[in-house]
Amino acid sequence: MATTEAKREAVAAESDEFSHEVKRAKTDQEKGREDGKESQSENILAGFKTSKVLSDSAREKIMFIHGKIDDQDAVVVLEKTPFREETLTDLFSSSSLRLEMKNDIYSSYRLQAPPHLNEIKTTVMYPATEKHVKRYQQQESFLVEETEEDYHSISLPYIEKHSLGLQWVYNILEKKAETEKVVYEDPDPDVGFVLLPDLKWDQKQLDNLYLIAITHQRDIKSLRDLTPEHLPLLQNIFQKGKDAILQRYNLPASKLRVYLHYQPSYYHLHIHFTKLGYEAPGCCVERAHLLSDVIQNLQSDPCYYKTRTLYFPLRADDGLLDKFREAGRL
């Protein structure tokens, strides 16, 4: 079974090295709402044929499965949804109990909840590439040390050749997809962004709140590209993102973790907003960079992220790790 850390690496796809490559899945929730009700769709999984379980965690109640839909590769993620306080009364009154053991004051039961309280959050990547399949396999991880020279000679050439497509990002920015999910948008082409829930958040409770701010600027790949000229953009996202979350979810800035990943899961600048206390995939110290720190670092040193040696984790099957090995950097 996958450990808790392995599960976090996978979810990020949020894998440690890519974490949150996750392309937006075509689920009912993402297809929008019609007349205030969730739209219905055909069961894309009716013909799903399982090939193997890539990884799973009994503790985290999540499983990653590789299979085929219409003879094309697919990856399906099954995750038990969290309990919600507002549904407890219905859960206790509407469920059936089967006694398994009773000893003095202790007893255990199998509780069968009604269908509407027993959902499984399901993410589908289809057609899936080999890279998607590998990403969810449990793998050992290695911490990589990347100098300025390493970035230009090893990382950047690999990124330009092998990074995942960004069409799903552009679909959001161009209002071709997920428009109903947008929490806030600043349309300014220079400092503007779109704020919407990350795929990992089911939006049914605030304990695991997770939103992503995607910049309208398309020429910023990652932390390495940031310079003082981007400070107005970063400050705008930082302030307006917090304001939008306060207005929509009544969650103050003091309860938010706002950060960037390096390396990111996809190479279009985006900022993560999660609830403080929620151990989101990729929030570990070797991958997450607080936006407040990024802003201060750029203010004190214009070339901070151009020249700084950065550390990040890569999984054993990551092609970029092979490049660092070939260069004698690991």
pLDDT tens-place string over residues 63-107: 999 999 999 999 999 988 888 888 999 999 999 999 999 888 989
Res 40: pLDDT: 56
Task: Say which of 66, 268, 270, 272 is annotated catalytic.
Answer: 270
User: Considering the entire predicted model, what is its pTM?
Assistant: 0.69
Residue 136 confidence class, pLDDT cut points 50, 70, 90: confident
pLDDT at 49 exceeding the cut of 80: yes
**Residues 6+ away with beta carbon under 8 Å from 12:** 18, 19, 20, 21, 22, 265, 281, 282
Q: Considering only CA atoms, which of 310, 257, 251, 263 is closest in space to residue 279? A: 257
Residue 15 confidence class, pLDDT cut points 50, 70, 90: very low
How confident is the model over 53-66, as a mean pLDDT?
A: 86
Res 35: pLDDT: 42
Residue 28 confidence class, pLDDT cut points 50, 70, 90: very low
Q: How far apart (Å, rounded) are the C-alpha atoms in residues 65 and 76?
A: 5
Residue 280 confidence class, pLDDT cut points 50, 70, 90: confident
Q: How far apart (Å, rounded) are the C-alpha atoms in residues 83 and 71?
A: 36
pLDDT at 117 exceeding the cut of 70: yes
Residue 59 confidence class, pLDDT cut points 50, 70, 90: confident
Beta strands across the sheet bearing 62-69:
49-57, 62-69, 72-80, 120-125
Q: Taking a C-beta distance cutoff of 8 angstroms, is the pair 23, 164 a contact?
A: yes
Residue 41 confidence class, pLDDT cut points 50, 70, 90: low
What is the four-CA torsion angle of 238, 241, 242, 248, rounded to 10 degrees?
Answer: 180
Res 140: pLDDT: 83
How confident is the model over 10-29, as a mean pLDDT?
A: 38
pLDDT at 201 exceeding the cut of 70: yes
Counting residues of the chain whose pLDDT is more than 70, the rounded percentage is: 88
Res 36: pLDDT: 41
How confident is the model over 283-304, as a mean pLDDT?
A: 96
Counting residues of the chain whose pLDDT is more than 90, the rounded percentage is: 64
How confident is the model over 282-291, as a mean pLDDT?
A: 93
pLDDT at 14 exceeding the cut of 60: no
Mean pLDDT of all residues belonging to the chain:
86
Residue 32 confidence class, pLDDT cut points 50, 70, 90: very low
Q: Catalytic site residue 270?
A: yes
Q: Which residue has the higher pLDDT, 124 or 317?
A: 124
How confident is the model over 214-236, as a mean pLDDT?
A: 97
Res 279: pLDDT: 86
How confident is the model over 107-130, as a mean pLDDT?
A: 90
Backbone phi and psi for residue 218, each to the nearest 5 degrees, phi listed first: -110, 0
**Residues 6+ away with beta carbon under 8 Å from 70:** 47
pLDDT at 192 exceeding the cut of 80: yes
Which range is least confidently modeled, 31-40, 62-71, 117-126?
31-40
Q: Which domains does the chain have, with CATH numbers?
A: 4-74+121-326 (3.30.428.10), 82-118 (no CATH)
Res 20: pLDDT: 37
